[in-house]
Structure 1
Amino acid sequence: MLLIGDDWAEDHHDVEVQDETGRKLAAAKLPEGVDGVAKLHELVAKHGGEKLDPNAVIVGIETDRGPWVQALIAAGYKVYAINPRQVARFKERYGTSGAKSDKGDAHALADMVRIDRDQLRPIAGDSEQAQAIKVVARAHQTLIWERTRIFQRLRNALREYFPAALDAYADLTLLGADALELLVKAPTPQAAAKLTHAQITAALARARRRNRTAKAAVIQTALREQHLELAEPVTAAYAATVVAHARLLITLNEQIADLETQVKAHFHAHPDAEIYLSMPGMGEISGARVLAEFGDDPTRYASAKARKNYAGTSPITRASGKSHTVQARFVRNNRLADALQAQAFSALNGSPGARAYYDKQRVRDVGYNGALRQVGNRLVGILHGCLKTRTLYDEATAWSHYAYLHAA
């Protein structure tokens, strides 16, 4: 068996090769790309021999993505993606000085997969379809997060110099195409006051708004009211900022819509899509996100508990002396946690069992977030069972062991 620590950078990899006793066999700085992978294979062949089983090559690296990682998996090596914070804590065994080097990190990674590999999770063998869903689902969610940040900057800028716009477009939402179009056309109080009823109505029509005539009149009136104003140069500077942010939001809205189409297409092409969509509160986008983060390797989660732990929905216990508390997990996959919370919230209206389970937690004085998290935890367990048995969700079967459902 060979243990390899791989400290990766953008253009190179520092690697250390050890045997099962921890003896250092080799250390090298390899270039990124085909040449680097070839040289790594040469090191393995040199120190492991021609008869070495690829599964006996254990690699520790601080990422689970990219062509390099996929090349290692394709070669048959067992690859462990290790959280950098775990590596930092592990290195404290060697000393507390805080010293850091790429070679030192490679050595720590090799030691980790040699000593603590039973406590680590190997990279899942997800299908190409699942990997594709993960790429587009994460990109889609990242653009939504970015849009929210830009929207907040736009709103804060308007509050600083043009609060009347917030009142005028309150019923339209500033993320709407019509409000953004009008902001680009008239970003200052003076220009907005000159917008005609026809111009406003035309923007509303392009956004397919109803009651356009009445809404245009309300907007025009709000924009023409007297408000406190800043000096002209300051107003012009703010206006330029708002126009830039509004145009960014217009572009982001278009790209998010395009990516949403891609997410749905990739998701529906996956054989597990039907099972995910059968779950209460699970839609196409949320289903794609959950599938992307869980992956589709059937051997990845040994039990429903293991899946719940990965999801971060199951609680953790902190016990020391006379102190004993049960707390929510805060170190978790935030993308997965967000999707599961949205599912749990929607399931309250679509599943009588989920609603009854939630109400039971609330009666026990569990807070809103805690009760919702417990619903999500239960739904993760149900999903695990459905995937394991290749069956669709069934309301009666999922909640059959709860007495209150029989009573209902």
Structure 2
Amino acid sequence: MPGVFCGIDWASDHHDVALIDQDGTLLAKLRIDDSAAGLTHLLDLLAEHGDTPEFPIPVAIETSHGLLVSCLRATGRPVYAINPLTAARYRDRYALARKKSDHLDAKVLANILRTDIAEHRPLPADSELAQAIAVLARAQQDAVWDRTQAGNKLRSHLREYFPGFLTVFVHFREGITSPITRTLLAAAPTPTEAARLSRSQLRALLIKAGRQREITPEVERLHQLLREPQMQQPHLVEQAMGAKTQALLRQFNAACTSADELEAATVAAFATHPDAEIITSFPGLGALTGARVLAELGDDHTRFADARALKAYAGAAPITRASGKKTVVLARHIKNQRLAAVGYLWAFAALTASPGARAHYDRRRATEERHTAAQRNLFNRMLGCLHHCLTTRIPYNEEIAFPTHAEQSAPTAA
């Protein structure tokens, strides 16, 4: 294997490349543009310095996304995504005056692999399907966050001039995202316009929103709510706020549509993956949350050496800080935030779907542990089970996952 290491300082329009040998000697440097020709120049430079399919030159770069990273991964070489904060701390080794340049950054990245390659992990060798699911699942999660933000903006604006409308969607499971809520607000964005809606108009709006049952009681409820006395802004101010509501509503509708369409695409892609059956066998994991889990774990089952590594990556395992006689155990904040977010939903849903998970959570709470800590501990336990099941290719088994609870709940012979 050639003792050559490559560092690439990534930018939006160009990339600086540095190659060094085992002794730290600079072998070559190159600036390429973000194009197919630039990639060809990079691969030719690597080939000139001993790059072969059997012994590819490892590459360090400060991002895990983008076309350049994707093309480098396609060549089968190990690609190391170095955290920019880590690279900044390494830079102090080579520039005491704190100077900075793109070429120096590329050389620093190459030296990270030369000196500490064992301390960093290459990007996982995920399949094309797993990478596609990751794109869809992350986009859907972003769309949900955008939808929540847009809904909060709309709700806050309504509270300033139309607080009576906030009671319309209180009992809807979807809340402000309900099609009825959005259809009604689009038709009557101000209190004055809402109070003028007749029963026949309300019925037509409910049908337009997709309501099929109990339409008459809902019409009467809305007819009464929208006519209740409330404080109002001056007429011109109210009209202006109604216009702003229409603009916010269009943004909100777009966010809702994006989230729904991406959810359908994510679930459809996830259903075709071989790991889908194992992941969804776990209590609390459905098709969408399972897709989010797969998106962050990938399907390269050699990525995590053991379950402890996976738990640390997800932020479920605590971190211990020891100095002298003082030892402190704290929650882990440096983690995969997306996986931690879906872990909270997973653990919460497992409380009602798994008797063993519920008993485990109750035992943690009985020790005066807070809800969040107990839920994180349950997530930690479920991650260990998931790592075992994916490694051994077996589905979830409640009796194996929580043997103590299974023994206690088993019927005794008369």
TM-score of the two chains, using structure 1 as the length reference: 0.94
Does residue 129 of structure 1 match 2:132?
no
Q: Report the more deviating stretch, 104-113 or 144-153.
A: 104-113
Q: Report the more deviating stretch, 147-156 or 259-268.
A: 259-268
Cα shift at 1:96: 6.8
Cα shift at 1:346: 1.1
Does residue 287 of structure 1 match 2:290?
yes
Quick one: which amino acid aligns to residue 227 of structure 2? Answer: R
| Mapped contact 1:2–1:56 kept (Cα < 8 A) | no
- Distance in 2, matches of 1:209 and 1:315, equals 50
In structure 2, list runs of 5 or more residues that go unmatched: 410-414
Query: Deviating runs (4+, > 6 A) in structure 1?
Result: none
User: Partner residue of 1:395?
Assistant: 398
- Distance in 2, matches of 1:193 and 1:16, equals 69
User: Partner residue of 1:162?
Assistant: 162
- Distance in 2, matches of 1:345 and 1:361, equals 14
- Distance in 1, matches of 2:353 and 2:282, equals 10
- Distance in 1, matches of 2:233 and 2:193, equals 14
Quick one: which amino acid aligns to residue 303 of structure 2? Answer: R
Q: Report the more deviating stretch, 140-149 or 108-117.
A: 108-117
Does residue 298 of structure 1 match 2:278?
no
User: Partner residue of 1:185?
Assistant: 187
Distance 1:323 1:200, change over 3 A: farther
- Distance in 2, matches of 1:260 and 1:53, equals 38
Deviations, residues 233-288 of structure 1 (Å, cap 9, x unaligned): 33223212211121222233233222222111111100111100111111000100
User: Partner residue of 1:217?
Assistant: 220
- Distance in 1, matches of 2:218 and 2:286, equals 33
User: Partner residue of 1:406?
Assistant: 407
Quick one: which amino acid aligns to residue 250 of structure 1? Answer: N
Distance 1:168 1:405, change over 3 A: closer
1:230 alignment partner, one of 230, 233, 238: 233
Distance 1:29 1:369, change over 3 A: same
Q: CA RMSD in A?
A: 1.8
- Distance in 2, matches of 1:194 and 1:115, equals 74
Distance 1:214 1:131, change over 3 A: same
- Within 5 Å, give how 1:235-314 maps onto structure 2: 235-314=238-317
User: Partner residue of 2:6?
Assistant: 4
User: Partner residue of 2:353?
Assistant: 350
User: Partner residue of 1:78?
Assistant: 78
User: Partner residue of 1:68?
Assistant: 68
| Mapped contact 2:20–2:28 kept (Cα < 8 A) | yes
- Distance in 1, matches of 2:85 and 2:140, equals 27
Deviations, residues 289-336 of structure 1 (Å, cap 9, x unaligned): 001100000211111111111111111101123321111111111111
User: Partner residue of 1:328?
Assistant: 331
Quick one: which amino acid aligns to residue 392 of structure 1? Answer: P
- Distance in 1, matches of 2:83 and 2:358, equals 36
- Distance in 1, matches of 2:98 and 2:214, equals 65
Distance 1:342 1:96, change over 3 A: farther
- Distance in 2, matches of 1:196 and 1:55, equals 76
- Distance in 2, matches of 1:181 and 1:398, equals 46
1:28 alignment partner, one of 2, 21, 30: 30
Quick one: which amino acid aligns to residue 231 of structure 2? Answer: L
User: Partner residue of 2:103?
Assistant: 103
Cα shift at 1:342: 1.0
- Distance in 2, matches of 1:292 and 1:127, equals 11
Q: Secondary structure at the match of 2:63?
A: coil
- Distance in 2, matches of 1:339 and 1:320, equals 34
Deviations, residues 29-62 of structure 1 (Å, cap 9, x unaligned): 101121111111122123x247x56634111111
Q: Report the more deviating stretch, 200-209 or 361-370.
A: 200-209
In structure 1, list runs of 5 or more residues that go unmatched: none
Distance 1:199 1:104, change over 3 A: farther
